[in-house]
Every structure is written in C-alpha cells, then in structure tokens.
C-alpha cells in the first residue's frame, strides 16, 4: 500500500522540539494519535509496522514523548510530570487538527500513555472524537500489588525457587513502590513478569519483546536511539513515584467522548481485572471493552490484525454517529 502521506518531523510543542511520524493515504481520513507507554518506551516502530494495513482508512501519527527518543533533547527534570505531558498531548492534538483541517482526532494511549490519554480526554475533549485505551492503567498501587502477586504465584507454580527467592528479596511493593531502590525492584519484577507471560502472551524476555525491536528498527535514527537509551532511565526515575499514586477510579469516570478499551486477556503489567472493573464504572456516549485472548500488555504488537481491524471498525462507528 502506497502512503501518499509520510511525514517525519520535529514540532515545537510546549517549549521543546518533539518528534512525530505521520503516515496515511488521504488527508480527508480520520487521524489517530498514538501515545506510547513507559514512561520513556517509544513505539513508533510498532505503530508504523502494524498499522499500515489501515492507512487507507485512517491517518496515523506516532509521537516520541518529551524526554525520550527523538524528543529527548531539551527535556528538563522539572518538566517531567503528568500535567506537562497532558499539555504536550493537547498541543500535538491541536497541531494535528490544524495540519489536517480537522475539528477532532482520535487518541490511542498505551500503558503509561493511557494515563496521559485518559487525562487528556477528560480535561480537553473539545478536539477529541474518541479514546482507545490499550494496557489501561487505573490504580497505580493496586496495579503493582496485583502484578507482583501474579509473578510470585507463577514462579511458585513453576517450582522455580530462584525466581521465588528473587521476588521475596525485593518484597511486595508498599504504596506501589519497592523497598530500597524502587526502580531496581520494579525492573526485577518486570523481567520476571515477561518471563511468566504477564507482559507478553508468548513468554519472552524484555530484551526480545521491547529493547531489541527498538534498537534494530529502521524507524529511528542514531540520535533517536541515543535518546531512547538515555530517556528510559531519565523518564522512569523522574516520574514513577507520581505514576503509582494515580487512581482514575475516583474521579475520571465521566467522559463526553466515546471510550474504548482494547485489552489483552493475559495482561498483568496493567492487570486486566482492574481495567475491566474500571470500565464498568465509566460513563460515556459510547463505550466498549474488547478482549484480545492471545495478548498480554500490547495487543497492537501481539494481535496486530485484530487490533488494527478493531480500531478501524470503531472509528467507522464513531464517524457514523
């Protein structure tokens, strides 16, 4: 499929240059902004690889958030907070609306990006047609408790004493944080989460599922890769303690735009029980919760055909409203 729209550019957003890649076949099509996870884990490579089959129906925009990838340069520690990222997303939304002569666009938030996306559509719905949450985070403290308990149970069931011992050493998180070095404990737990299928449906290492695809993708320049390598630690260290304090179930339940949740049935990075529980409380003009039975944390990459088809169908549904 030939994409007549293929733009990679840096745009001045909320005080710093931020990188986006936009592809599509017709500027009249609906526009979707993909907000990646982490914080600091870029996903332009997955977006551009797996969403190509719907670019005849929608125009897609992949964005490197401030502090990572192609948007690493110029990011300041004091600006690494949720409010700043929501403002960044608002400005990019307005930029895309103006660029493609739209009143509104669609938002797809993944993992940490679902935090930015949820707050964006709640605070600034005027330029948004609908929201898609993937790996939807709801409550940071409960998220980490459930994720830890899952891995410990799996390690015990597998009879892997080494993994059990490692988990007992880092201890169950308190108020969402691991004792001692919270980031080190988090990384140890997430490595085992990948191993036992809670992050990827086909049990895999973080290197194979996340790091290697980024480093060896042609989507990123050498400068982008340097931004990724520096940005992941920079983003996580400056933001994680605030992320685990989030609880959307208390305030963010009433929305003025359609809300869709595309959730992996084996997700324990952002445990699916929490997002389904949350979904039932959400009030919106239209809502749906779609299961991906062969996915964990990233249906976009794990079941790409179903994901892209579902996304396109829901956008068509909203366009017809």
Q: Any idea which residue has 């520096």 for tokens?
A: 230
**3-class secondary structure, 143:** helix
Which residues 6+ apart lie within 8 Å of 224 measured at CB? 19, 42, 64, 69, 70
Q: Any idea which residue has 């002569």 for tokens?
A: 101
Note the pLDDT tens digit of each residue in 294-304. Answer: 999 999 999 99
Q: What is the mean pLDDT of the chain?
A: 94
Q: What pLDDT shows up at residue 79?
A: 95
Q: What pLDDT shows up at residue 32?
A: 98
What is the mean predicted confidence (pLDDT) over 181-199? 93
Q: What pLDDT shows up at residue 90?
A: 98
Q: What pLDDT shows up at residue 87?
A: 98
Q: What pLDDT shows up at residue 1?
A: 55
What is the mean predicted confidence (pLDDT) over 130-137? 98
Note the pLDDT tens digit of each residue in 30-46. Answer: 999 999 999 999 999 99
Is the per-residue pLDDT at 188 higher than 80?
A: yes
Q: What pLDDT shows up at residue 203?
A: 59
What is the mean predicted confidence (pLDDT) over 306-312? 97
Question: Which of 15, 20, 22, 9 is CA-nearest to residue 87?
Answer: 15
Q: At 207, is the pLDDT very low, low, confident or very high (cuts 50, 70, 90)?
A: low
Q: What pLDDT shows up at residue 21?
A: 97
The CA-based angle 245-211-53, given to 5 degrees, is 95
Q: What pLDDT shows up at residue 212?
A: 79
Note the pLDDT tens digit of each residue in 67-84. Answer: 999 999 999 999 999 999
Domains, the chain, in order of start with CATH, read: 5-139+208-319 (3.40.50.1820), 141-199 (no CATH)
Q: What pLDDT shows up at residue 17?
A: 97
Note the pLDDT tens digit of each residue in 151-160. Answer: 999 999 999 9
Question: Which of 109, 112, 110 is CA-nearest to residue 128?
Answer: 109
Task: Name the β-bridge partners of 134.
Answer: 110, 262
Note the pLDDT tens digit of each residue in 159-173. Answer: 999 999 999 999 999
In this predicted model, which residue has the larger pLDDT, 209 or 161?
161
What is the mean predicted confidence (pLDDT) over 262-278? 97
What is the mean predicted confidence (pLDDT) over 266-277? 97
Is the per-residue pLDDT at 263 higher than 70?
A: yes
pTM: 0.94
What is the mean predicted confidence (pLDDT) over 282-299? 97
**3-class secondary structure, 298:** coil
Q: What pLDDT shows up at residue 204?
A: 64
Structure tokens at 12: 């001045």
Q: What pLDDT shows up at residue 206?
A: 63
Which residues 6+ apart lie within 8 Å of 244 measured at CB? 140, 141, 143, 144, 173, 175, 176, 177
Q: Any idea which residue has 């103006």 for tokens?
A: 98
In this predicted model, which residue has the larger pLDDT, 192 or 206?
192
Is the per-residue pLDDT at 216 higher than 60?
A: yes
- Cα 123 from Cα 120, distance rounded (Å): 5
Note the pLDDT tens digit of each residue in 103-132. Answer: 999 999 999 999 999 999 999 999 999 999
Task: Name the β-bridge partners of 206.
Answer: none
Note the pLDDT tens digit of each residue in 8-18. Answer: 999 999 999 99
């Amino acid at each position: 499929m030939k994409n007549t729209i293929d733009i990679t550019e840096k745009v001045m957003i909320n005080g710093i240059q931020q990188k986006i890649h936009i592809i599509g076949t017709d500027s009249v099509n609906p526009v979707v902004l993909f907000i990646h996870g982490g914080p600091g884990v870029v996903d332009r490579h997955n977006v551009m690889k797996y969403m190509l089959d719907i670019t005849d129906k929608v125009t897609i925009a992949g964005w490197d958030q401030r502090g990572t990838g192609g948007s690493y340069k110029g990011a300041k520690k004091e600006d690494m907070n949720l409010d700043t990222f929501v403002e960044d997303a608002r400005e990019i939304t307005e930029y895309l609306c103006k660029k493609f002569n739209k009143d509104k666009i669609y938002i797809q938030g993944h993992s940490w990006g679902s935090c930015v996306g949820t707050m964006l559509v709640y605070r600034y719905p005027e330029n948004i047609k609908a929201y898609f949450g993937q790996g939807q985070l709801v409550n940071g403290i409960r998220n980490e408790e459930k994720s830890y308990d899952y891995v410990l149970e799996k390690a015990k069931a597998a009879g892997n004493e080494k993994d059990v011992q490692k988990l007992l050493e880092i201890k169950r998180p308190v108020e969402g944080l691991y004792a001692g070095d919270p980031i080190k404990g988090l990384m140890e737990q997430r490595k085992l989460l990948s191993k036992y299928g809670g992050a990827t449906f086909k049990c895999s290492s973080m290197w194979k599922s996340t790091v290697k695809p980024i480093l060896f993708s042609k989507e990123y320049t050498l400068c982008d890769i340097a931004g990724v390598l520096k940005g992941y630690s920079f983003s996580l260290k400056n933001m994680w303690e605030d992320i685990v304090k989030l609880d959307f179930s208390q305030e963010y339940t009433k929305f003025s735009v359609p809300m869709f949740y595309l959730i992996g049935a084996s997700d324990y990075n952002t445990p699916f029980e929490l997002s389904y529980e949350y979904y039932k409380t959400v009030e919106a003009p239209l809502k749906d919760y779609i299961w991906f039975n062969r996915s964990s944390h990233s249906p976009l990459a794990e079941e790409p055909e179903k994901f892209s088809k579902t996304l396109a169908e829901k956008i068509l549904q909203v366009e017809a409203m």
